[in-house]
Amino acid sequence: MPAQACCVDAAISPSGNAFSGDSSLLAPVSFSGVPSETTDIVTEPVDVSVENSRWTPSLSAALYKIDGWGAPYFSVNSSGNISVRPHGPETLSHQGIDLLKVVKKVSDPKDLGGLGLKLPLIVRFPDVLKNRLESLNSAFEYAIQSQGYESHYQGVYPVKCNQDRFVVEDIVKFGSSFRFGLEAGSKPELLLAMSCLCKGNPEALLVCNGFKDSEYISLALVARKLALNTVIVLEQLEELDLVIDLSKKLHIRPVIGVRAKLRTRHLGHFGSTSGEKGKFGLNTTQIVRVARKLEQVGMLDCLQLLHFHIGSQIPSTTLLADGVGEAAQIYCELVRLGAQMHVIDIGGGLGIDYDGSKSTESDISVGYTLEEYATAVVQAVRYVCDRKSIKHPVICSESGRAIVSHHSVLIFESVSTSAYESPALSSLGLQYLVEGLSEDASADYRNLTAAAMRGEYDTCLLYTDQLKQRCVEQFKEGSLGIEQLAAVDGLCDLVSKEIGNADPVRTYHVNLSIFTSIPDYWGIGQLFPIVPIHRLDQRPSERGILSDLTCDSDGKMDKFIGCESSLPLHALEGKGGGDGRYYLGMFLGGAYEEALGGVHNLFGGPSIVRVSQSDGPHSFAVTCAVPGSSCADVLRLMRHEPELMFQTLKHRAEECGQGGDNDDGLASAAALASSLAQSFNNMPYLVSGSSCCLIAINNNGFDYYNRDDFNAAGADSAGCEDKQWSYCCA
């Protein structure tokens, strides 16, 4: 940008004169040498000064590090849209799924062939889930065969990561050939795991973790009676007596595991449950007591599994091997004490790379691959067992984050942007400003102008801050008017802008609740990749932070992967990009976010669709769709009664309608009641177009989407796994 005059105005300034006591103005002063304003948004290796005509999707992929955190499931296609590769590296070129096309088909009105679902939206890809399971099992199978390990791998999925029915059922179905099982940590989780595993492989493990009462233990014993391969893992010493007593009363022989507190510690954020003072598990003294007590009651043969957990997001295979080696020593000692040990359960901890950095020093990255993880585990167990001449155990892991994170994408829309704009300063405004200043503030103003003439830009900023502070104090004392304070603000902002010290970051307002959909960001500072899902063939010209719909100051995102405090984004065209909308995606959020999200500000859960790869001309099919929580749904969660609330409002509408012409008043009351009824059924998030109440009042009622249609469709989909929506996905 060309250097411009900042503090003075030529129209009223006698050229060459400094400020005098009568507050006359100086001639224009050019800020020669001021750093030019630029829209460059990142540093090397991506040169974002490239003109839009020469910007390519590959540059966007590098800018957002998609090839780092997204491989092998996400890429940018030639249209500049995010493409999902549902089968990972085995995905053929024609099998890629254009995420923007999915969103448009799901959100388009029904009369245009869509589903009419409202955003925000979770898109699940069961094919990705299947590939993650296959990849994990393949990694362990390779490590076992290459190292001559004499047993097998048999994992379980901890349902706490995502308890959604379709997610759990998919894992049981896809993992059946691998004897893949489930892990439960509460009574409701145990019930759903029991139900799902009735359709799974009979050898699949059902691992029962967490604190237990008599009802939990009885339920786990019943699961064993139902021919489910159930293991009750002791987390506390007190649970042992309950297991012994209840198993005798029910005449069910249990399979028991113990969770060990290891000395090995994971020092990162996710390792707080590790070490001798961890929340769960038994120390060596308590483990010995368990073995002796079981021996005394003739049940030592029931002790068959050792479990431990170093912590989530284990950063390196060095730490992993250290912990597994320590646990393997305990396993071998239990064999020596006479326990019929069969399984070593290494717990969770298999991390994923949220930022693509492959760093071992970060809580959101890991420095290993699936293959390296499996190799480290198998090597550590084999080494200890061979030294002790102990038969190699079945290796079990409770990998949740690594299985489900990639298969789910949260899509939301930016509805507007805002940035502080410096108000225009007129000659009259400057004159009015100067006349109202105190003597000290006037001196700051003169010094500011003199520094500008000399090109001393650091000094300009010093006097700008000083002038602003003096004027704020004057305003608080009542000796400076609001118009003058506004003029001072405008002057100071203009100086900062001309010198190149202005904040270029814009706020993008997104149709989302961070507390509901990304609670780990707010709660523990977890970072997720956030990327526009389209327009990636265009050069992003802005930097922005994201502000959600909630009336909470924490409802914003101003930290992003790569240690960035803002995100490269595109300018909204009109109301949005292209067709008037600008879509962003949060990736790798398939674990924990849905389970942890609450109803802050009564924003409910997003709409959800399942999308499978299809060999048809459009490469995908929507196999299930569920609308997001309605206003009535979230009100019921907080024990309100929407039906009674509506009756109260309807009665008030009828009372208010009695004041005018009888017929018109009744019609107006009926229309208002209709709009209120629909408001209870609509999602709490923003809806484009005219407001529901306005349409209803003007048209004596209106027809929005019918939730019953979705419920019926969901029921049909649940009843037939292969049934798809009748429309053709484009």
Which residues form the catalytic set?
A: 551
Measured over the CA atoms of residue 125, residue 126, residue 131 and residue 136, the dihedral's sign is positive
Of 220, 287, 288, the C-alpha closest to 255 is 220
The β-bridge relationship of strands 343-345 and 394-396 is parallel
In angstroms, the CA 607 to CA 630 distance is 10
In angstroms, the CA 197 to CA 228 distance is 7
Task: Tell me if 621 sits within 8 A of 725, measured CB to CB.
Answer: yes
Angle at 282 between CA 393 and CA 154, to 5 degrees: 25
> Residue 307: CB partners within 8 Å, gap ≥ 6?
207, 209, 233, 257, 258, 259, 260, 281, 345, 347
Of 678, 679, 672, 680, the C-alpha closest to 700 is 672
In angstroms, the CA 161 to CA 232 distance is 20
- Chain centroid to Cα 728, Å, comes to 30
Helix (H, G, I), strand (E, B) or coil at 544: strand
Hey, how many other C-beta atoms are within 10 angstroms of the C-beta on 371?
A: 15
In angstroms, the CA 464 to CA 654 distance is 60
* Strands lying side by side in the sheet with 256-259: 156-158, 181-184, 205-208, 229-234, 256-259, 303-307, 343-345, 394-396
Q: Is 487 exposed, middle or buried (0-12, 13-18, 19+ CB in 10 A)?
A: buried
The number of residues in the chain equals: 730
Task: Tell me if 410 sits within 8 A of 322, measured CB to CB.
Answer: no
- Chain centroid to Cα 241, Å, comes to 42
List C-alpha distances in Å: 683 to 111, 174, 412, 525, 632.
20, 33, 14, 28, 9
Of 218, 221, 163, the C-alpha closest to 188 is 163
Q: Which residues of 158-186 are buried (b: 16+ CB within 10 A; e: fewer)?
A: bbbbbbbebbbbbbbbbbbebbbbbbbbb
Place of tokens 């469709």: 713
> Residue 166: CB partners within 8 Å, gap ≥ 6?
124, 126, 610, 624
Residue type present at position 363? D
DSSP 112-171: GTS--PPSSEEEE-HHHHHHHHHHHHHHHHHHHHHTT-SS-B--EEEGGG---HHHHHHH
In angstroms, the CA 228 to CA 207 distance is 10
